[in-house]
Structures are given as structure tokens and as C-alpha cells.
Amino acid sequence: MKLYHSHRAPNPERVSFFLRAKGKLDAVEIEEISIMKQEHRADSYREISPFAQVPALVLEDGRTLTESQAICQYFEALWPEPNLLGADAFEKGEIEMWSRRIELMWIMPFAMWFRNTHEMMAPLEVPQSAEQAAKGEKAAKWFASKVDAHLESHDFMAAGRLTNADIVTYIACGFSAVMGWKPHTELEHLGAWRARMKQQGFAG
């Protein structure tokens, strides 16, 4: 298998962290694609990922998957343990609930802030909008405070153990740093949770 990945981009990193949590990072060939150099828009890459998305997974028989969650679901089915997506019906729902919340209410607003503010994103976001940036910043910071409140009474985001919901949250914290915002240094319970994640072998 080959995984097309882009360092520090949240969706590709989500998949590589998922593999790391599975203990299978070395089981997949990884090829880096530079989003900033727009390598994901090259015709050769579009033959693999028609919508120019990263990550993309190519199986030995040539079949492909894009969308980070779809790739993680494939890996969960291939390597069921340790379980990261839920061992019963409620766990599956709870893990997906928190994963989606982080995606929609933290990562997406933060991306709007980042894309409309950071100078290196100017070629990709034309024109940049200060109004959209301000809305994204406010929304992302508001939701991070809600996650902090949740972690006051929970060691992990869902199911009482390390799951995909923790991975998505960890990615959100790391992605936030590109704007100089490190919520885990501002929010007590998020900071303690992140320290627990690092004890489990996460870095970055």
C-alpha cells in the first residue's frame, strides 16, 4: 500500500497518527505531496485523487481511497486492534460524535481563519477576507473552550480510552499552532489531556 501524505496538513496527519496509534506506521509506504507547491493539483496526482485531495491511499491492486475518515475506517477493518473507532454501538456513535464536532466546530473554522489571514495562504485563498478570518478565529476558540470543559471530567475524548476522537483533537491542537495559537497552553484541562497523549507516544 502507498499513502500520499502532506506533512502538517490536518487531514493527512490524521491518517498518519491513526496508523501510529495502530502500531502500523511502518506497514504502509508513505509519499509526501507538497500542498504549498500545489503538487496535489498536478495531472499525475489527479489520476490518483481526481479531486486533488490529500491523503490518498493506493492498494496493491490499484484501487484507491481518499477522504481521511474513509482511509481510517479501512485501516480499522484491516487491523481491528487496538480499537479506535468503537467496540459497540454506543462507542461508535460517541467517537464519531466527538470526531465530527472537532472537525466541524474547530478545524473548519480554524482553517477559515488560517486561509484568510496567513500570507502563505494568499495564493490559495483569493481574495483573503479579514471578516471571514475573524469569524473563524472566534468560532474555533469558543469550541476549544468547550472541549476543555469536557476534558475536566474525562481522561479521553470518548469511550474512556484513546480513540479516533483523541487523534482528531490532537491534530486540531497541532494545526492551531500555525497561527501562533496553542490552546493547550491556555486551557488547563486540554493541556493535561495533551500531556497524557504525549505519554501514549504522540509527538509534535
In a 13 Å sphere around the CA of 97, the CA atoms on its Cβ side amount to: 10
How many angstroms separate the CA atoms of 156 and 98, rounded? 11
CATH 3.90.1150.150 for domain 2-78: no
Q: Which residue numbers in the chain have pLDDT < 70?
A: 204
Chosen CATH of 89-199 out of 3.40.1190.20, 1.20.1050.10, 3.30.420.40, 1.10.3080.10: 1.20.1050.10
> 34-68 pLDDT, tens per residue?
988 999 999 999 999 999 999 999 999 999 999 99
Domain locations in the chain as residue ranges: 2-78, 89-199
